[in-house]
Amino acid sequence: MARVVGMTNPSVIIVGGGYGGITVAKALDEVADVTLIEPRDAFVHNVATLRAVVDPAWAGQLFIPYDGLLTRGRVRRDRAVEVHPGSVRLASGDVLQADYLVLATGTAYPFPAKLDSDDRATGARRFAEAYKTLAAADRVLLLGAGPVGLEFAGEIKAAWPGTAVTVVDPADEPLGPGFPAEVRAELRRQLAELGVDLVLGTSLRELPPTEPGAAAEFTATTLSGVDITADVWFPCYGAVTASAYLAGELAAVRRPNGQVAVTPQLRVTGQETVFAVGDITDVPELKMARLAQFHAAVVADNIRALIEGREATAVYEPTPDAIVLPLGPHGGVSYAPEAGLLDAATTAHIKKTFYIERYRELLGAD
């Protein structure tokens, strides 16, 4: 397989500079010529975006420069538009060749859970606009009672206790399957204490007539006949796997939901030198930042082994469902099979800094 012209070490191209991508890049920087392809001008700490919407002090902390991530390698601000095994065509028109390829493009998700812009200035403006809208709203409608909708509801009520927050979801229980009943019961208790109105087991007859995040009064009606009047609404569902750029042999292993089939070594199925990490994989587990980093450790070990002439023997075991779900700075619910249910105070402590210091260190920002 051809290497990038002028490079003497094996070349590794990582497509996507999210949690998994930066972890692989950092781990391989000393043994390979690493190129990280990322359209954003700064890393965005998505774990804390919902706090940033209600707390302007957090909005500026979300963006961490890529400048300090790599010592030998490079971060190229561009977008992959066509990826084959061993080659990446960029939006700029350049085509890069690689000995090893890592797919780490994750998922897109409606704002504010994830940003829908590639530059820091636009992102910061979006957070400021959302904060202004929420601060002036008397009633907020959130569609989706999964982790995003519940966390967002808790953040809004913690910041503005007098704001009415309604969460609508067709599921009969919040959070969804995979967690014990005691977890959902504790969530219900804390949400009721905050004053969040859960409207479950139904959905809206049609989406509100206003754009998401726009300040404008409207009334929406559920299929069960409940009228909900609000001043602003946000979709809290609809993750879309970012894999449309895959071509040829790689497109063939792309599943209908956009995820990519992988082996236990996190190789893309049918490929020896193409790996994938994070949300883009079809690993049967929740899609979370920390799990993308676990994937990254396995992939980095395997690529390092191949570079050194050894077998790629590191394997990834899917992680049982676990969650740390804050409901504002003082509440929330956590659960892991080995620890059981953790209370509000413990959850708030775990998510006190949203691990921002870890990522600043990883990205060399300190």
pLDDT at 211: 97
* 11-39+78-109+239-319 topology per CATH: FAD/NAD(P)-binding domain (3.50.50)
Please tell me the distance from the alpha carbon of residue 289 to that of residue 28, in angstroms, as a whole number. 19
pLDDT at 176: 81
pLDDT at 228: 98
Place of tokens 């692989």: 24
pLDDT at 1: 38
Identify how many contiguous H helices and E strands the chain contains and give both numbers: 10, 21
Cα distances from 58 to residues 38, 55, 140, in angstroms, run 23, 6, 21
Closest C-alpha among 5, 122, 27, 125 to residue 73: 27
278: part of which helix (H) or strand (E)? none
pLDDT at 60: 86
Please tell me the distance from the alpha carbon of residue 342 to that of residue 74, in angstroms, as a whole number. 41
Length in residues, the chain: 366
Please tell me the distance from the alpha carbon of residue 281 to that of residue 243, in angstroms, as a whole number. 10
pLDDT at 349: 97
Contacts of 303 (CB under 8 A, 6+ apart): 12, 24, 28, 32, 100, 102, 275, 312
Q: For residue 18, what is the DSSP state?
A: S
pLDDT at 216: 97
Domain boundaries, the chain: 11-39+78-109+239-319
- What predicted TM-score, i.e. pTM, was given to this entire model? 0.95
pLDDT at 141: 98
pLDDT at 151: 98
Contacts of 310 (CB under 8 A, 6+ apart): none
pLDDT at 5: 39
* Average pLDDT along the chain, 366 residues, taken 10 residues at a time: 54 98 98 98 98 94 97 98 97 98 98 95 96 98 98 98 98 91 97 98 97 98 97 97 98 97 98 98 97 98 97 97 97 97 97 97 94
